[in-house]
């Protein structure tokens, strides 16, 4: 269950009364890789395997499901722990160094251009293969909003929805964490073997550089959000060839980078 009924006292201009409100459930999830702690996050319960695989993918640990020999809940049937096991072939390649970004970018002497260069160094620039009419983005955004059941009940979740180059729906998820929502949606495509089809991502949240990096790892060409974009997100999207669109609310939106994909 990802929604919980709780008693509250609700106040209005003319007084107050006791009512029942629905709130989003938030619980910890531990992700172990080959029996070693890899990540801990707070999340909306549900789709934990997809979340673990999506996070491993966007973190650079795996490139496809061929790098995974298994992924499932802990043997004690805990839904708050996922075990991921790498394939023998994947184990032969070096693993990414965790916390490198935090260490590298915590010094006050690093400039923004250095950070953009480091972030984009290992990702090949994304070439243009699709063109989308600006007005065609809104029906896709509507699909995301229609699927946000937990948000309608609680007002406390973020969502991510992924489409192919023709606007066909591929994947959706929502979570209390905006990063988790996108990782879950990516993980579903990994499990279904449909990640190469993904071209357009819609988010219910602001556009930070982390979200741009996740989009870049899956080779998406267009990333939109209903909220604003940060300056670093714009710089990274520009460097990686991603069309970044912020404040997308019909009939408006701000195309920050690579507008040639928008017809």
Residues labelled catalytic: 108
**Residue 174 has which token pair?**
């929502």
Give the Cα separation of 208 and 155 in Å (integer).
21
First-to-last alpha carbon distance for the chain, in angstroms, is 42
Give the Cα separation of 155 and 254 in Å (integer).
25
> For residue 216, what is the enclosing H or E element?
helix 209-217
Cα–Cα–Cα angle for 165, 171, 173, rounded to 5 degrees: 135
82 φ, ψ to 5°? Answer: -120, 135
Give the Cα separation of 195 and 191 in Å (integer).
9
- Nearest C-alpha neighbor of 79 from the set 54, 48, 36: 48
């Amino acid at each position: 269950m990802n929604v919980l009924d709780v008693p509250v006292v609700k106040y209005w201009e003319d007084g107050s009364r006791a009512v029942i409100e629905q709130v989003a459930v938030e619980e910890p999830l531990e992700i172990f890789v080959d029996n070693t702690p890899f990540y801990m996050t707070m999340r909306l319960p549900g789709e934990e395997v997809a979340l673990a695989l999506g996070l491993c993918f966007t973190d650079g640990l795996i490139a496809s499901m061929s790098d995974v020999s298994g992924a499932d809940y802990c043997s004690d049937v805990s839904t708050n722990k996922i075990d991921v096991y790498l394939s023998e072939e994947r184990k032969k390649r070096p693993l990414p160094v965790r916390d490198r970004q935090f260490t590298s970018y915590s010094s006050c002497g690093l400039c923004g251009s250095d950070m953009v260069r480091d972030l984009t160094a290992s990702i090949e620039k994304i070439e243009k293969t699709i063109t989308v009419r600006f007005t065609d983005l809104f029906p896709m955004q509507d699909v995301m909003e229609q699927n946000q059941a937990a948000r309608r009940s609680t007002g406390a979740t973020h969502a991510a929805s992924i489409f192919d180059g023709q606007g066909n729906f591929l994947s959706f998820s929502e979570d209390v964490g905006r990063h988790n929502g996108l990782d879950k949606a990516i993980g579903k495509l990994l499990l279904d073997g449909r990640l190469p089809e993904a071209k357009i991502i819609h988010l219910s949240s602001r556009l930070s550089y982390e979200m741009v990096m996740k989009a870049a790892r899956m080779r998406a060409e267009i990333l939109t959000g209903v909220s604003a974009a940060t300056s670093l997100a714009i710089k990274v999207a520009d460097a990686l060839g991603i069309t970044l669109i912020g404040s997308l609310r019909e009939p408006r939106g701000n195309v920050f980078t690579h507008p040639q994909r928008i017809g």
